[in-house]
Amino acid sequence: MKRLKKSITIVAVALSMSLATGIVAAADCDDEDAVKTVQKKIYKKKCKKCHGKKGNGKGPGAKGMDPAPPSWVAGTDKSDADLYKIIMEGSKDTEMKGWAAGTAKKGKEVSEDDAHTLICIIRNFKK
Ligand code: HEC
């Protein structure tokens, strides 16, 4: 039993380490094709209804929402790591739900790579 506990701890530590490195890894925002694909396949389908086509937080689904989705048109003061965490884990007690596997509904998950590319898209909304 003790041994089992030990190996579980090792697996948990390894997992959290890979998660931590996932936060550091950034997407190549200059890869326009990759960014466009994620914009079309993920942002438009999963994010636009609240965050809006232009990232101004005025998507049709955001009507009357409190707190409302923020506008990214003037940028965001959040770091990539902050944005990544919110995309994956959501923002507590708000309509922003997490998209990580195990958090999002089955079949709706956003991969770690795509989450990083979504950060490029969010930053690109800045005028
Ligand atoms: C049902 C509406 C809804 C959907 C769909 C949604 N969001 Fe959100 N999002 C919100 C709300 C509301 C907030 C503000 C939460 C708060 O104030 O803590 C938010 C906040 C955020 C933030 C924090 C931004 C900041 O600058 O503070 C990020 C990043 C984000 N969303 C990304 C996404 C991405 C990426 C998707 C699609 C995969 C998505 N959201 C889908 C409603 C939504």
Residue 63 — pLDDT band, cuts 50, 70, 90?
Answer: very high
- CATH code of the domain covering residue 7: 1.10.760
The predicted structure's pLDDT at residue 24: 53
Q: Ligand 1 in contact with 83 (CB < 6 A)?
A: yes
The predicted structure's pLDDT at residue 26: 79
Higher pLDDT, 98 or 19: 98
pLDDT (mean) for 52-68: 98
- The CA-CA-CA angle for residues 35, 37, 42, to 5°, reads 95
Residue 27 — pLDDT band, cuts 50, 70, 90?
Answer: confident
Total domains, the chain? 1
Please give the residue range of the domain that contains residue 28.
Answer: 2-124
Task: Report long-range pairs for 40-43 (Cβ below 8 Å, ≥24 apart).
Answer: 42/110, 42/114, 42/118, 43/118, 43/121
Query: Residue 90's beta-bridge partner residues?
Result: 97
Residue 122 contacts by C-beta under 8 Å, 6 or more apart in sequence? 55, 72, 76, 83
Q: Within 13 Å of residue 36, how many CA atoms lie on the same side as its CB?
A: 3
Instruction: Say if residue 53's pLDDT is above 70.
Output: yes
Instruction: Say if residue 7's pLDDT is above 90.
Output: no
Q: Ligand 1 in contact with 91 (CB < 6 A)?
A: yes
CA gap 98, 88 in Å, rounded = 5
CA gap 59, 112 in Å, rounded = 24
Residue to substitute in 93, 96, 120, 126 for testing ligand 1 pocket (most ligand atoms within 8 angstroms of CB):
96
Q: Ligand 1 in contact with 88 (CB < 6 A)?
A: no
Residue 80 — pLDDT band, cuts 50, 70, 90?
Answer: very high
Distance 121 CA to ligand 1 centre (A): 13
pLDDT (mean) for 94-99: 98
